[in-house]
Each structure stands twice: as structure tokens, then as C-alpha cells.
Structure 1
């Protein structure tokens, strides 16, 4: 009898581990904002509201059918914003190229209240790519190397001030290794962890388990070696399980070595759907509430979906986007060339 009970218990454990495949048959795409902008940084607040940062100095909140827009000038220049993050009381936008300028925009829940510059870095090689917050006080932004390490700045006072982590406290990178500012998604955060994806000369993943105090770096099997190859996007659903996606921007149909998953916090990575569609994608996200089974990846070639954790994929639309961010298990916002759309995924 004891033996039978043991077998029954093991059977139950294995049964519980089996995950149900997620089904999505189509996606409904509704434009909510159209303008002559390159929009690569978005942050939804709910099903009807989404913040964005774009080129030409434009930052805005799309509130239902109402766009609330601002143009931020730095001297006589219009900056290009590709990084955005939102806390309870503020919105942050960070520009690419030289100078790198980070602005804090006060937000009372419906309107912007004030705009202030909270960080500025001048260097011919400066180029920031992505920004995230662990909580309302602590945040991180990453950029291409100025010296022999990635540029990483952090805040612990709600974004009022930012400090740059010295290179001696960061892993060294190779010449030609950097990051891609395509979708504000080459940082992933969970708990106290942050993962940073690189590309170009090398395709690797940097990891901190203590909000930036200490770092390690791991190799991945993602294609690399050329300027436009590597990891373009990373997402984690818990402290162990994550996905990276990218490819070769100059050969978008190429689908070998462009997507991989980890089950041990980024230490090792395994290619998925290798040599199968899709090819290049610039933004990948786990669908909330699907235990890692539902995944959507977008890029200029279209929208792709996997319902089995990345093993198999299907094309939902040829409509191209740069970035995607989910609100819940069926609604997301996506941004691209001249457009922000609301996406509704149908089973």
C-alpha cells in the first residue's frame, strides 16, 4: 500500500508540472495615435492609457482618444527618446546619443505637472538604450560602452538623482559589443534582479541579483559578430525563466540562433525553434498569467505568437511594430513607425 501511494504521489507531481498550451487565433489591431514619429518606447498605465517617448523631442500620454503631447527641447535641439519608465508619481524619458539627457515628468494621475532634467552625460560615444524601475524609488538605465563596460546608471531616490556605476564594478565587454535601442526592452527586471542583453560583437546577458551592486555576465547561443546581430529584447517571468529574441537586422528572415530560453536565471541558454519562423524580432514579451506558455514577439516584419513556451510559433499579422507591452492577458499596446496601436488577442 505504501508503494502504491508513493507512485500515486509522483504521478500527481508530474501531472501538476504539465502546462496547458495557450491558444490565440487572431489579433485585433486598433490605431490609437498616428503621427510622423519613430516611437520605440511605450509604457501602458491601463487598457486605455499609454505613455510614449519618440523622436523630434515628443513625449506624450494617449488617454483613450485624447493625445496629451509635449515637445522637450535641449537648447535648440530636439532629442530622440527611446527609453521610458513610469512610477507612481512620475514618468522618465531618456534620450539617445550625445548628450544623454534624462527628464523626470511629474504626473498626478491625469496630467503632467512639471518637467525637470535629472541626469546629463556628454561624450561622443554616449548612447543610452533602455530604462526600468524595480519600484517607485529604485531604477536603472543602460547604454552602450563609453569605456570598456556597458554604461549603467541607477537611482535610489525616486529618480531625483542618478549615478553611474564605475567600470571596475562591471563586467568588461569586447570592442563592438553594445546594445540595441529598438524597443526599450533590453533590460528585464524581477524581484531584486536585472538582466541586460547585449549584441553586436558578442550576444551576452549581464545579471545583477542585488539591484546593480554586483554583476556577472553569461554567454548565449544567439547569433553575433556583426554590427546588427545579437539580442534585441529580453524578458523574464520569474527569477529563473527568461527569453531572449533578436537576430540579424540586415537579414530579417534569417531564423537561426535568434531566440533562446533559460531556466536557471540566465546562466545557460537553449535555442528554441531554431531554423524555424520567426526571424528577426525587436521586442518579446511573456503574456501575463500564462505561466510562460504564451509569448508574443513583434518586429518590423510582423507579430508572432507561441502558445507552448517558444517551441512553435505562428504569424498573427504582417503589421510591423518596434515594441510591445502587455496590460493583461489579452490586451497590449504596440508602437512602430508613425503609430501606436491597441492590440486585443482573441482565442
Structure 2
């Protein structure tokens, strides 16, 4: 009887601690917007609506099958946007290159109400890559170095004003270390934390646990040393568990040192599926509701899926995308060259 009790207790413990695998066998891809644009920044609202920011100065809301578009000019220049983020009252878009210009677009839940410039920066080296919000008041955007640290700007008032952090308060970068504006996903947010992924000369993770007040930097085993190598995307499930993905943009099939996970908040990283498919990918996300077991990574070579936390992967499609953002546990939006599509993952 005592043996039976111990056995039952052990089985109960195993069942509570085990993480069931999730399985997707296919993905249905439905285009929702087609235009002559490079679209690397998307922000879904629900299964039918998604904001995007692109080149040629174009920003828009795809509402079902209705595109609501705007063209933003800075003086006589059509800006190229690769960063987007939202709060309950506004959407924010940030341009790459010089000058960097950040706009706040008022949104009443159905329509854009106004467009306002809230930050600009002129420097021959300025190049912003990604933007996220912790909450409706506090947000962060990151960019390539203009001095000896990554460029980091922060808002504490709902995006009305932004301040650039001094290099005195940030980790120093090595020459040739920067970030990739590939998918608006080299910042991950959870709680008060933010993780920033770098690439090029070094592939590292910058981490703040207090919304940008203090910073640490951690090494990773991701391929690095060349201009187009490094981490292209980072996502975190909680304060401890995260994933990074990237590789070598100039050798997209190369699949060594391009994907890793952490279980200690980014301090240490372990390569996953090393030397196995997939190779280069520009955006990786945990599948909601799968307790960290489901992962989807997209890039120009296609869509890849793991149902066991990244140990094993399979190709779901060779249709290429730059970025992916999930709406729920089976629906996501993805953006790429000349299109935005809705992705429905199926078991």
C-alpha cells in the first residue's frame, strides 16, 4: 500500500512538471495586403486588424480587407519605417537612417485621429532598429551606436517625449557591434525587463530589469564576427526563459550557432538544434499557450516550427517573411516583401 502511494505521488509529480508538446503540421497563408513595399514592422490588434510600418513613408491599418493608409514625409523625404509599437491610445512608428523620426499616431480604436512628431535625431550614424512598450506610459526603442554604446531612447509619459540614455549608463559596444532592423524583434519585454539583441562583431544580450535604469550585458554562443552575423530576433516567455535566433544573412543555409535558449534570464545561453535545420531566420516567437514548447521562426527562406522547445524543427512553408506576430495560439500575422499575410497554424 505504501509502495502504491509513493508510485501515485511520483506519477502526479511527473504529470505536473511535464510540458506537453504542441504539434503544427501545416500553415494556411492568406494574403491580406499586397503592395510594392518592404514591410518589416507589424502590430496586430486582433484576428482581423493589423498595423504596419514600411518603406516609402507608408503606415497603415489593415482592417479586414480594407487598408487604411497614410504617407508620412519628413520635409521632402519619404521615410523608411522598420519599428512599430502601440499603447491603448496610440501607435508609434520610428524611421531608420538619418534623420531618425518618431511619430505618435492617435487611435480611437477604429480610426487614426492625428499624427504628431515626438522625437527626432540627426547623426550620420543614426539607425534605429526596434521599439516596444512596457505599458501605456513607458516604452523603449533601440538603434545602432552613434558613440560607444547602443542608442537607447525611452519614454515615461505615454510617448509624448523621449530621452536618449547616456553611454555612461549603458554597456560599451565593440567596434562593428550593432543591431539588425530586420523584423522589429531585437527587443523583448516581460514585466519590468527588456532584453536587447546585438550582432555583427559581437552577438550579445543587453538586459535591464528596471525599465532601463540599470543595464548588464551577456555573451551568447550565436555566430558573430562578420557584418551580417549575429542575433536577429529575441523573445521571452517569462523572466527566465527566452530564445534568440539569427545566423548569417549572407549564408542563409548555415545552421550552426544560429539559435539558442536561456533558462536564467539571459545570463547564459545554450545552442539548440545546432547543425540542424533551420538556418538563418529573422523573427522568432513563442506560440502563446504552449508553455514555451511551441516556437515559430520566419525568414526569407520560409517558416519553421518546433513543438518541443527548440530541440527539433520542421519546415511548414518555403514562403518567406521578415516578421511574425501572434494574435493567439494558432493565428498570427506575418510581413515580408510586398505583402502582409494572415497565418493559421493547423494540427
TM range (shorter): over 0.9
Q: CA RMSD in A?
A: 1.1
2:222 paired residue number: 222
Aligned partners of 1:158 and 1:10: how far apart in 2? 50
Task: Tell me if 1:200 matches 2:200.
Answer: yes
Distance 1:178 1:17 in 2: 39
How far apart are the structure 2 equivalents of 1:123 and 1:4?
72
Q: CA deviation at 1:7?
A: 6.3
Tell me the SS of whatever aligns to 1:42.
strand
CA separation in 2, counterparts of 1:153 and 1:198?
16
| Cα displacement (A) at 1:4 | 7.0
TM-score, normalization: structure 2? 0.98
Corresponding position of 2:310? 310
Distance 1:171 1:7, change over 3 A: farther
Write the deviation string for residues 214-250 of structure 1: whole angstroms up to 9, x where unpaired. Answer: 0000000000000000000000010000000000000
Give, in whole Å, the separation in 2 of the partners of 1:7 and 1:129.
Answer: 53
1:284 corresponds in structure 2 to 284
Counterpart residue number, 2:233 = 233
Q: How does 1:46-85 map to 2 (within 5 A)?
A: 46-85=46-85
- How far off is 1:67 after superposition? 0.1
Confirm whether residue 92 of structure 1 aligns to residue 92 of structure 2: yes
CA deviations 1:53-108 (Å, max 9, x no partner) are 00000000000000000000000000000000011010000000001000000001
- Distance of 1:110 and 1:44 partners within structure 2: 13
Moved over 2 A (4+): 1-15
**SS of residue in 2 equivalent to 1:223:** coil
User: Aligned pairs, how many?
Assistant: 347
Cross-structure match for 2:122? 122
Q: Secondary structure at the match of 1:14?
A: helix
In the TM superposition, residue 15 of structure 1 has moved relative to its aligned partner by: 2.7
In structure 2, stretches of 5+ residues that fail to align are none
SS for the counterpart of 1:173 is coil
Structure 1 stretch displaced more, 268-277 or 3-12: 3-12
Question: Counterpart of 2:343 in 1: which secondary structure?
Answer: strand
Q: Which residue number in structure 2 is paired with residue 258 of structure 1? A: 258
Corresponding residue for residue 106 of structure 2: 106
Matches of 1:43 and 1:298, distance apart in 2? 16
SS in 2 for 1:320: coil
Q: Does 1:299 align with 2:299?
A: yes
Shift of 1:17: 1.3
Give the C-alpha shift of residue 197 in structure 1.
0.2
Distance 1:43 1:106 in 2: 15
Q: Confirm whether residue 145 of structure 1 aligns to residue 145 of structure 2.
A: yes
2:134 aligns with 134
2:190 aligned partner: 190
Q: TM-score, normalised by structure 1?
A: 0.98
Q: Tell me how far 1:12 sits from its aligned partner.
A: 2.5
CA distance in 2, matches of 1:267, 1:14: 28
1:273 counterpart residue number: 273
CA distance in structure 2 between the partners assigned to 1:288 and 1:35 by the alignment: 29
CA distance in 2, matches of 1:277, 1:195: 25
SS of corresponding position for 2:261: strand
The SS at the match of 2:15 is: helix
CA positional deviation for 1:9:
3.6
Equivalent-residue separation in structure 1 for 2:330 and 2:108 (angstroms): 27
Aligned counterparts of 2:6 and 2:210: Cα–Cα separation in 1:
40
What displacement does 1:16 show? 1.4
* Aligned counterparts of 2:307 and 2:244: Cα–Cα separation in 1: 16
Following superposition, the deviation at residue 10 of structure 1 comes to 4.5
**Aligned match of 2:344:** 344
- SS across alignment from 1:13: helix
Residue segments in structure 1 that go unaligned for 5+ positions in a row: none
In the alignment, the residues of structure 1 paired with residue 4 and residue 191 of structure 2 have an alpha-carbon distance, to the nearest angstrom, of 40
The separation in 1 between residues aligned to 2:114 and 2:11, in whole angstroms, is: 59
In the alignment, the residues of structure 2 paired with residue 203 and residue 297 of structure 1 have an alpha-carbon distance, to the nearest angstrom, of: 18
Which deviations, in whole Å up to 9, do the C-alpha atoms of 1:42-61 show, x marking residues without a partner? Answer: 00000000000000000000
Q: Secondary structure at the match of 1:284?
A: strand
User: In structure 1, how many angstroms separate the alpha carbons of the residues matched to 2:91 and 2:161?
Assistant: 14
